[in-house]
Amino acid sequence: MAHVIAAPLAVQPARLPALSEHKIARFAAIIVLYFLQGVPLGLTLVALPGWLAEQGASPVAIGGFVGVAMLPWSTKLFNGLVMDRFTYKPMGRRRGWILLAQGLMVMALIGMALAAPGARDIALLTAFCFTLNVCVTFSDVAVDGMAVDIVPEAERTAINSLMFASQALGVAVCSYAAGQLLSSGSLRTTALALAAMVLLASLFVALFRERPGERLLPWTSGQASRECIERQNDAWWPVISGVVRSVLAPRTFLFLLGTGFACAMLAFVDAVNPTLAVQQLGWSSERYANYGALLNLVAAGFALFLPVLMVRWFGLKRAVIAHFLAIAALSVVAGASVAGWRDDTLFMALTGVLYVLSILLTVMLIVWAMRICNPAIAASQFALFMAVPNLSRSVMSGNSGWLVESGGYGVTYYAVAAITLLGLACALAGGVGNERHAAAAA
C-alpha cells in the first residue's frame, strides 16, 4: 500500500499586534517613545547646564543656552501641520514620521560625538542641542497625534500619566548617565552612549504596526487603513482653517495662555537652578545631575498614578486649581527665605516639591488639551496646545538670567508666583474642566 506523504504546511510568520487593537502594545510603544524624549531633555535641561555652571558660565549664558536649545519645542505647530497634510499612508498616519525622527536623532547624537564641543564652545553646543530637539519634537508631535488617533477616551488620563512618567524617567536616566560621563570630561562618550540607547529602543518600536494590515517598513507588504485614508487631509486649507478656528475661540485662547504661564516654575528649574545650586550652594555638576535625575525619577513615580486618582476623586478643575495655588504659595516661601539659606536643605525640599507639582499640573492640563482636540487635525491642534507652553518656557528660561542678575534669586521666585497666579486665572477663564465646553470644542 502506497503511503501518501503530505506536504508540510507553509508556516506563516506570526505578526505582532497592531497598536490600535492591543492595549499593552499601544501603551508599551508610547511609553518607550516618551522615555526617549528624556535624552535631549536630560542633556539640555540638567546635565549640560550643571556642567556649564561648574565651568563658570554665567546665569545669562546658561539661560541663553537653555532658551535657544529648547526653541524647537515651541515650533510644534509647524510639525503638526506638515504631519496632518503629508504622510506615507501605507505605514499609518504617524508611524513613518516617528521612525524617521528617531533615526535623525541617532544621527544628531553621532554628529555631536564626532565634533565633541567643549565647555567654551557654547554656541556649537547650543547648535547640536537645538538640532537634537528639532528631531525629537517631530517624534513627539507624531506620538501625540497617534495617541489622539488610536487611544480610546477611557484610557487617555492613564496614558497621559504614563507618557509624562516615562518622559520623566527618561530624563532621570539620561541626566544621571550624562552627569557621570561628563564628570570625566567626555562629551564624545556621552553622545555615543545615548545614541546607542535611542537606536535600540527605536528598533523595538519599529516592530509594531499602527493599524492592522499596514506595512511594517516601506518595502514590506501592506496597505493604508480605512481610518488613515479618511482622516488624512489632502489639502492645506482644512488643516489650517481648523487650527485657526480652534485658536480664535476665546476660551481656547485663554486656556493656551494659562498653559503658557503654568510653565513659570519649570523655566526656573531649567535655567536658574543650575547657577543657584552650583555657584551659590557649592554643588558639583555631577551632584546637580544626580539630583536632577532623582527629581525626575520621583516626578515619574508621582505622575504615574496621582493625576488619575486626583481627577477621579476631586475632578479635573479642582485638581488644577489646587496645583496652581500650591506652586504660587511655595514660590513665595522660597523667595522670602532664599537669602537666608545656609545650606541646601530648603533648596532641595522646595525644588523637589515645586518640580513634582509642576509636572502633575502639566499632565492634567494636557489631559484637557487632548479632550478638546478634533481627531481630523489632532497632530496640528495638539501640537499648538503644546507649542504655546513650550515657547513660554523657552522665553522665560532665556530671560531668567538678567532677572537673577538684576534682582536676585528672591525676586525671581516672586516673579514665578505672580506668573503662576496669572496662569490660574487664564485657565479658569478658559473653561478647564467644563465638559460642555469640551464637547463643543471637539
Q: What is the DSSP string of 232-251?
A: S-SSHHHHHHHHHHHHHSHH
Q: What is the pLDDT of residue 4?
A: 42
pLDDT of res. 363:
84
Looking at residue 13, its pLDDT comes to: 44
Which distant-in-sequence residues (6+ apart) come within 8 Å of 38 by Cβ? 167, 168, 169, 170, 171, 172, 173, 174, 175, 296
215 within 8 A of 222, measured Cβ to Cβ: yes
Q: Is 410 exposed, middle or buried (0-12, 13-18, 19+ CB in 10 A)?
A: middle
CATH value of 19-216+229-441 in 3.40.190.10, 1.20.1250.20, 1.10.3720.10, 3.40.50.300? 1.20.1250.20
Residue 27: its pLDDT value, please? 84
Q: Which residues contact 140 (CB under 8 A, 6 or more apart)?
A: 37, 73, 76, 386
How many Å apart are CA 113 and CA 101, to the nearest integer? 19
Q: State pTM to two decimals.
A: 0.71
- Interhelix angle for 316-337 vs 285-314, to 10°? 150
Q: By C-alpha distance, which of 187, 198, 36 is closest to 124? A: 187
Per-residue confidence (pLDDT) for residue 324, from 0 to 100: 94
pLDDT of residue 3: 45
> pLDDT averaged over consecutive 10-residue blocks of the chain (442 residues)?
43 61 81 88 87 82 87 79 74 81 91 84 90 89 79 72 79 85 80 89 81 75 67 64 69 85 88 87 86 84 80 85 94 91 88 92 84 66 77 85 87 93 90 61 50
For residue 415, the tally of other CB atoms under 10 A from its CB is: 18
User: CA torsion sign, 348 to 261 to 285 to 341?
Assistant: negative
